[in-house]
Amino acid sequence: MPEQDKQQASLQPASAGTSRPGGAARNSLDLANTLRRRVNQESHLQTAAQAYAAAHPEVKPDGSSHAADSLPQPRPFSYQQPQPADLWVKCPACKGVMYREDFLTHHSVCLHCGHHFRISARERLDMVLDPDSFEACDASLESVNPLNFKGYEDKLKLLQSQTGLQEAVVTGRGLIDGRPCCIGALDSRFMMGSMGSAVGEKITRLFERAVEQRLPVLLFTVSGGARMQEGLLSLMQMAKTSAAVARHQAEGLLYIAFLTDPTTGGVTASFASLGNYLISEPGTIIGFAGRRVIEGTIAEALPEDFQRAEFQLAHGFLDLLVRRSESRQLLSRLLAYHSQDTLYPSCSLQQKPAPAPPGLPQTPDLREHRGSECLDLIHLKDRPNFNDYLQLIFTDIIELHGDRCYGDDPALWGGLARLDGRAVTLLGTVKGHNLAENNRCHFGMPHPEGYRKARRLMQEACRCGRPVVCLIDTPGAYCGVGAEERGQGEAIARCLETLATLATPVAAVILGEGGSGGALALAMGDRLAMLSNAIYSVISPRGYASLLWKDPGREREAADTARITAFDARKMGICDQIIAEPEGGAGRDPAAVAQGIRAFLNQSLADLLALPSDRILEQRQARFRALGAYRES
């Protein structure tokens, strides 16, 4: 017998009738070795034995193999029972292995690299809805075969039996933290979530039901596009669903589109891209044409991240990228911002904010400085910027991204926040405290995509009846070839046009620099305050000196000549209130300055929200109609 077989045979306990020198001790040792090997080898013992027998067959005289018999076999009472083959999950992205139980506990997300696996429609609903709150609608609606396409009906029946679904979308009503919403989820297991007549009809009914019940809509999308087996009727579902979304939004109701992997084709080009907020998970494929189609058309290799959610976020087509484990919390917060107890003109918004708690810093005394002195103070490195005031004044902050056209501008922050409990849409120009930070945000000079993002959020605020707050600190709009190519002037003009007709309160504060049209695009509101050392100018003092005197070195003289201080602006009727800074600038006591800003915003919004929207708009237009100095003979 080969040496290996002798070693394996030695693991077997001796039979009762066998006599060997030291037989009892030998039997005990053999049994102990056998048990130890079973424990160490866990559930892989049987598999190893079978694999060894297949690889090293030894034929007995009767022609049978005894290799498998030479290894100990697990018994019913062994310490480690055989484990199921699907106990482990392997990640296709990083090739990491994890226990299925841990994998499912983390919502089907890889524990090693964060790769988000695809999940079913029902799993989506269970993940975000309150337990037992889902009520399905139109569950019996299913597709027919309008083209008599061969095999289509059989395929539908097969998928229905495999998935338990009648169609590729599940719709109904549910609760998220007690807040009702109409909700739907497409399922990639059913013909890759493709949109045929039944899917289009169910989604359309979802929005129509939401209009009747005055409810928001949350829709999880996953789709390969139109359903080819239904031909032109499938294409028409893009128009049908888009019209239903438009009617829903015309009623001032919220629609959140949550794009999951993959969302492509006609679904991307219809209802999936029309949400008030577009949200996605990391790594999701989002696009219209497929990657292979594009590469074949242009005969070029595409970037690795092309059409991924991160790519779309950077290019302005998504508001938020969220991990699956955080999606329920985010959705709950967004619904809270749009629930009936936080919308203007509801009574809760017209209530006065809670009184300031004791112990807040004292308001500094108001002191006037010359323009050149203000210029020095606003350029101090310790001067607070938008990000500093953001945390001091507001709570429950949700940053939103993208202009839906080209990109996302880091120089202009936009999103939702609460001002002493009151929901507002917040816009602000961003500066840094050092060179690296300023390079990232273009020194606070917005590009066209920044102004288009601001305009989009202004319109969204108006549609939902939410006040707008703007915090401004910019030397002006960004000057560059790319900005001009993308229409910098037009983007600013559209902001002014929107503010001229925006039927919701707008309050603005100039924190430092208010440079030219780049600042005015956010400052054309109902109330304007300026910090006592802030400036507001038609052009920067350096530009003023260059244009009028051909000498940029006379910058300080220009600052004193052009009447750009907060006190000058108040005398002209442009600024409504001056917020005092401590001696030496706002950096000496940011909390006290923040308290002054908060008080101004609270009082301004309380006064404005007491008025009907048409009166707010009338006063704003009259305010700017009256500005100017001229003589007529």
Query: Measuring CA to CA, which residue among 262, 254, 258 is closest to residue 272?
Result: 258
pLDDT confidence of residue 71: 41
d(CA 492, CA 501): 15
30 or 261: which carries more pLDDT confidence? Answer: 261
Q: Give pLDDT, residue 9.
A: 40
Q: Give the H/E segment covering residue 556.
A: helix 555-561
Average pLDDT over residues 576-604: 94
pLDDT for residue 403: 94
pLDDT reported for residue 294? 86
d(CA 88, CA 110): 12
Q: How far apart are CA 268 and CA 255, in angstroms?
A: 15
Tens-digit pLDDT profile for residues 322-342? 999 999 999 999 999 987 544
Q: Give me the long-range contacts of 521-524 (CB less than 8 A, separation at least 24).
A: 521/451, 521/454, 521/477, 521/491, 521/492, 521/495, 521/496, 522/427, 522/429, 522/454, 522/470, 522/472, 522/495, 523/470, 523/472, 524/495, 524/496, 524/499, 524/500, 524/620, 524/624
* pLDDT band at residue 31 under the 50/70/90 scheme: low
> What's the pLDDT at 74?
45
pLDDT at 315 over 50: yes
DSSP 8-state symbol, 149: -
Whether the predicted pLDDT of 5 surpasses 90: no
From residue 382, give the alpha-carbon distance in Å to each of 370, 429, 489, 579: 20, 17, 32, 18
If one compares 291 and 454, the residue with the highest pLDDT of the two is 454
pLDDT band of 54, cuts 50, 70, 90: low
The reported pLDDT for the residue numbered 290 is: 80
- Rounded Cα gap, residues 366 and 435, in angstroms: 31
Distance of alpha carbon 153 from alpha carbon 43, whole angstroms: 44
**Class of residue 357 by CB neighbours under 10 A (exposed 0-12, middle 13-18, buried 19+):** exposed
**CA-derived radius of gyration, the chain:** 34
Mean pLDDT to the nearest integer, 530-539: 93
Q: What is the mean pLDDT of residues 254-283?
A: 95
**Of 497 and 363, which is predicted with more confidence?**
497
Q: In terms of DSSP H, where are the helices of 281-344?
A: 291-298, 309-314, 327-337
- Segment holding 45, helix H or strand E: helix 45-55
User: What distance in Å separates the CA atoms of residue 529 and residue 498, rounded to the nearest whole number?
Assistant: 21
Contacts of 235 (CB under 8 A, 6+ apart): 226, 266
In residues, how long is the chain? 633
* pLDDT for position 28: 55
- Residue 31 vs residue 420, higher pLDDT: 420
Question: What does the pLDDT average to over 238-267?
Answer: 95
Give the three-class secondary structure for 518. Answer: helix
CA distance 448 to 526: 24
Q: What is the pLDDT at residue 223?
A: 93
C-alpha 133 chain-centroid distance: 25
Paired tokens of 178: 């007690």
pTM: 0.80
pLDDT over 80 (residue 457): yes
pLDDT in tens, 365-386: 778 888 889 999 999 989 999 9
Give the orientation angle of helix 231-250 with respect to helix 197-213, to 10 degrees. 10
Bridge partners of residue 277, in order along the sequence: 256
The yes-or-no verdict on residue 587 having pLDDT over 70 is yes
Rounded distance between C-alpha atoms, residue 578 and residue 441, angstroms: 27
Query: How high does pLDDT run on average in the chain?
Result: 85
> In this predicted model, what pLDDT tens digit does every residue of 385-435 receive, in sequence order?
999 999 999 999 999 999 999 999 999 999 999 999 999 999 999 999 999
Identify whether the C-beta of residue 316 lies closer than 8 Å to the C-beta of residue 486: no
* Other C-beta atoms lying within 10 Å of the C-beta of residue 257: 23
Burial code (b: 16+ CB inside 10 Å, e: under 16) for 537-561 equals bebbbbbbbbeeeeeeebbbbbbbb
Residue 535 has pLDDT above 50, yes or no: yes
Q: Write out the two tokens for 36.
A: 């130890």
Higher pLDDT, 274 or 61: 274
Domains of the chain (ranges plus CATH)?
Answer: 3-70 (no CATH), 118-337 (3.90.226.10), 392-624 (3.90.226.10)
Strand bridging mode 506-515 / 527-531? parallel
Over residues 588-601, the mean pLDDT reads: 95
Model confidence pLDDT, tens digit, residues 436-453: 999 999 999 999 999 999
Q: What is the pLDDT confidence band of residue 552, given thresholds at 50, 70 and 90?
A: confident
pLDDT of residue 270: 96
- CB count, 10 Å around CB of 130? 14
Q: How confident is the model at residue 347 (pLDDT cuts 50, 70, 90)?
A: very low
Task: Express each pLDDT in 122-152 by its tens digit.
Answer: 999 999 999 999 999 999 999 999 999 999 9
* Element housing 176 (H / E): strand 169-176
Asked if the peptide bond before residue 72 counts as cis, ω within 30 degrees of 0, the response is no
